[in-house]
Amino acid sequence: MFACGLKYPRCRWILPLLLLFAIIFDIIAIAATSGWVESAAHYSSMWEHCRDMGGEYECKTLMEYGWAQATAALMIIGLIVLIVCFLLSIFTFCYGNYSCSQLIGFLLVVVVILQFIGLIVYAVSFKQLIYEGRYDFTWAYGFGWGATILAIGCIFLYCCLPRYEDYLSDKKTKYFYTSW
């Protein structure tokens, strides 16, 4: 009655689609120039910090700081590994070879670790560098966390997937019954 899952061709593309959404979220977070953090007189993206100087914004790069370089590197490396995972998942589902699923799951663990560290380093170091009142983390920073959370969800799906290979194939399952 409620037969859905990875067995059906339309549903099996949900996993690569989730990875595609994570890639899009990462690109939005990395490319956002409107800022990861903002307040009444400041805004700061992953790349620069801008301060309101009487109607005009004076911007300076954050890439002078090691923590900002580390954040950028971790987020970009995480994005590249995420793209590799997406390409592997497309290959996996096109050819029906589900042996790469655990490799994709392991690579997603690497992505989550890299992005988690990058997002935490940014928040903590930015707060220590520039603390002048109340700051709000914006939607762009939230997209970075969204990509990380999607990757966490995909870890569980890709690591559990090899256990259900029989459900993904078109082979008929054979059951052996013994009577006592």
Q: Which amino acid is at 117?
A: I
Q: For residue 4, what pLDDT is reported?
A: 46
The pLDDT value recorded for residue 57 is 79
pLDDT in tens, the chain (180 residues): 344 445 555 556 788 899 999 999 999 999 987 778 887 777 788 888 888 777 787 888 888 989 889 999 999 999 999 999 999 988 887 776 667 788 888 999 999 999 999 999 988 888 777 766 677 888 888 999 999 999 999 888 888 765 555 444 555 555 566 565
Q: What is the C-alpha separation between 17 and 15, in angstroms, rounded? A: 5
Q: What are the residue ranges of helices labelled H in the chain? A: 14-31, 66-95, 101-129, 139-160, 165-168
Contacts of 39 (CB under 8 A, 6+ apart): 132, 133, 134, 135, 136
pTM higher than 0.75? yes
| pLDDT given for residue 167 in this prediction | 46
For each of the domains in the chain, give its residue range(s) and CATH number, in order of start: 12-161 (1.20.140.150)
DSSP 63: T
Mode of pairing for the β-strands spanning 57-61 and 136-137:
unpaired
H/E element holding 137? strand 136-137
pLDDT at position 2: 40
Q: For Cα atoms 163, 166, 169, give the angle at the middle one, nearest 5 degrees.
A: 125
